[in-house]
Structure 1
């Protein structure tokens, strides 16, 4: 039985059962030679007695050796199944590591874009404010002094944002709690309040309650507003800008609309601009939002972002 079990564990199914049959045949042959023939030669013994013994021994041998072969095959199948499970577990772990690495690389790419947008926005504002200071230095020293203070504040804000993003890109560890706050809806109000030209400051209209917008959704609303304002400042200087944020039951709708340029579009350095509509659409796609942008009937431009409720929630 041990030999048949070993053959069942090492050989194929057919070979294992052939070995079991040969073992049973050998035992039955031995039984016939050693027991059945002497019993038949005994005249006092009944012919049916040895036939009964022969049949019982035959079925017992088939049962024992067939079971041994079956147990050997079962042990082999269990061992192979365990190897397959371990192999699949290793593949799943490898795929998980690959997805994690890809997610980290994508997140760092997104942070790099954040860095580019932050730098472009702050530097554009600093250039505009420096121009105001230069023009008003002789005519209105007080206004120039206030503009210089605004430049200092803007510079500190830019430095803080750049340190936050660059520090995150340099470190391989995740961002610790208590770092720089992620800009959101409150940041949109600060963008409007900190506009360099107070006489042509964008108009902010907010209706409804924001509700439970996620941080990712608020960040997208802020960044789209920031990029739309930068585009309006570059392509339609002096044009009136209106920012409407409508919080509805099904979601929040942001629309940044500017009128036609007062004196033609200002020349812009396309090599040092933000990601424009492409970056806006990528940000919208990350949280399942929809972005529409295009010219308006009066010759201006409109950017409309629709953020559905419960969007941007990452598990």
Structure 2
């Protein structure tokens, strides 16, 4: 079983601390068997103070890091990392015990800890937009991008603040075990199953959009009709609004153009169909609204670097 160690450094952000144990702990296969063994640890086994005014009692000390396959560092106000850009001797020893090749993940200001450990040098990374300038100042070798929800740089992944940690954990689960399992976790947690990592951390709105003017109903309808011809004009008609108004509202609510959003939903559906059945590539493409098998191959190679048959082998073992 894949072992996940969640390292709490005081004072930890209470919200962030709960994300990884919940998301990875909920991931299970079709028989209900857990897919991750999650351990919440500290530098020692003492309670860890949180920004929420409560203490969290870890189930292990730093020794849990030495056997982890993935280490998650939630947001923290850990002073040496946040103020000085360095680790305390105890924290440095803890990171030195982590095996080479272990996947490293940070949520929010946990990126300051990874940077202080030297794990982000020369890499693209993100953190909460409010503190991106501090991260850039303390670690000029890190390529800080505060305009995205999360960054997947292979064996090191970083997320923006707070709820973006949910998006990153779902992305990891999706990468490890496929769309169906990630979607099941999202349903349990009552959160959107997919927000692209490149989506903006926040969207400025000069005027609030009223509920009856939202594009949410049209988005839900489109997600159920991905096999059909979904032009922006058709979406605007469904929303009973002008094309210009629809485009503006759609971008305000999702941070994306309608065409980009539709394409991502179609690829998501195609992945699910490849994972769960033995339909031909052409039939998967048709049902997902991608037209031809050639287009599906192009989309998967561009987005994931793998062919449909290769993707199916990964998740079906065939």
TM bin (shorter chain): under 0.3
Flag the structure with larger Rg.
1
Normalised by the length of structure 1, the TM-score is 0.19
Structure 1 or 2: more helix by fraction? 1
